[in-house]
Amino acid sequence: MRITMIGSGYVGLVSGACFADFGHEVTCVDLDAEKISSLKAGQIPIFEPGLETLVATNAASGRLCFTTDLTAAVGIADVVFLAVGTPSRRGDGHADLSYVYAAAADIARAVQGFTVIVTKSTVPVGTGDEVERIVRSVNPHADVVVVSNPEFLREGAAIEDFKRPDRIVIGLDDERARAIMDEVYRPLYLNQAPIMYTGRRTAELIKYAGNAFLAMKITFINEVADLCEKTGGNVQDVARGIGLDKRIGSKFLNAGPGYGGSCFPKDTLALVKTGQDHDTPLRLVEATVAINAQRKRSMGRKVIAACGGDVRGKQIGILGLTFKPNTDDMRDAPSIAVIQTLIDAGAKVKAFDPEGMEIAKTMISGIDYAEDAYDAAADADCLVLITEWNAFRSLDLERLKSVMAKPSMVDLRNVYRGADLEAAGFDYSSVGRPAAATMSERSDEAAE
């Protein structure tokens, strides 16, 4: 199967490399000539475990190639995937579909013979209809079928998610596309991956509804954590107690500083706007968006409270900047709001992240960046753990204590046991737990 992937960002690159690994011939297209040159040279523009090796292996085999020539790549394709960005539109929060629509017009001009156009980008309901309208308008003779095939990739585990998915959702209104899509995903039949065929608009809604529901679970347990702090409960025990109910499940019930990343913030906001446009307001999702935004700043205030209510002139060490571990993605990361709150209160901040610092330097100004966790802790009045990288899970507490001005830690991911930190001589606070919580570590589950 000859596949062309329009867009070589996170979704396009991971999907293209995985399809090539299935044995398909894949061409990844991007208008950014510098990005394409880097990819041809084996340089991966994002951090994703296993991706560099996967790209190199399939590029060497000839199954995966990169180009800026959309016309040639589309002309030979059996299937063209749209994997361009759909960021939140400035000013109103709607999904910005300009890249999707521009790509649809370009595809229409270049398509030859029967071709399936697949929207992989996360798009609001009805976008597939507009893509089809654009294609028909630009090229009335184009023999195409437009399909929705949303992605469900977790950053940091994207390759595993692609090859062993919970489900594959394919939305189509023209049965001619079914045989083609069956062939695209045929290798996954060996893994017994459930493939769900539905209408195109339904598939578009599934993506948004899924992300919004997970975001609501995170926000719910964060509010329960606040209640636990006021009443002396332990949010980790509460989460375990309700998560054992199979109707609820244990995932996405880890209390923390709020969700971030490339999906949940923009997708929940876009779903809110879609509901408003259709006069069906989604009040639960609206509340989720508002509460999550407030929570990130409140975590900064939590740090200030742990420092006696005043951080002016104090040194604060930050462990973790990315919105989750195993990625360099800083988009809507809770660390941004936490750090800004501390800076606004007069604190001096020094931060370390294993992968996110170069991107963070373009987004967060007025702070210093450390060489490692212990450098971030040096002379600090308080150390704040924001992202639960494995490198932060077994820190040498005696060493930390020896380099800090004051042995104090605020653990926003509940990585450590309060009793262990207090036994080591630390002032310790976490999220939704008693000061000396003795329960086991939180799970290694990723946030998305």
Alpha helices (H) in 232-349, listed in sequence order? 235-243, 264-277, 283-306, 334-344
| Secondary structure letter of residue 79 according to DSSP | E
Cα(396)–Cα(225) distance, integer angstroms = 28
User: Is the CA virtual torsion 361, 12, 325, 54 positive or negative?
Assistant: negative
Cα(123)–Cα(105) distance, integer angstroms = 17
For 118, half-sphere exposure in the C-beta direction (CA atoms, 13 angstrom radius) is: 25
The per-residue DSSP string of 186-227 comes to GGGGGGT--EEEE-HHHHHHHHHHHHHHHHHHHHHHHHHHHH
Could you list the active site residues?
Answer: 263
User: Is the CA virtual torsion 368, 371, 375, 381 positive or negative?
Assistant: positive
Q: How many separate helices (H) and strands (E) can be counted in the chain?
A: 17, 14
Cα(48)–Cα(25) distance, integer angstroms = 22
Contact 408, 221 (CB under 8 A): no
User: Is the CA virtual torsion 292, 298, 302, 303 positive or negative?
Assistant: positive
State the residue for tokens 């509940």: 414
Contact 234, 228 (CB under 8 A): yes
Contact 39, 66 (CB under 8 A): yes
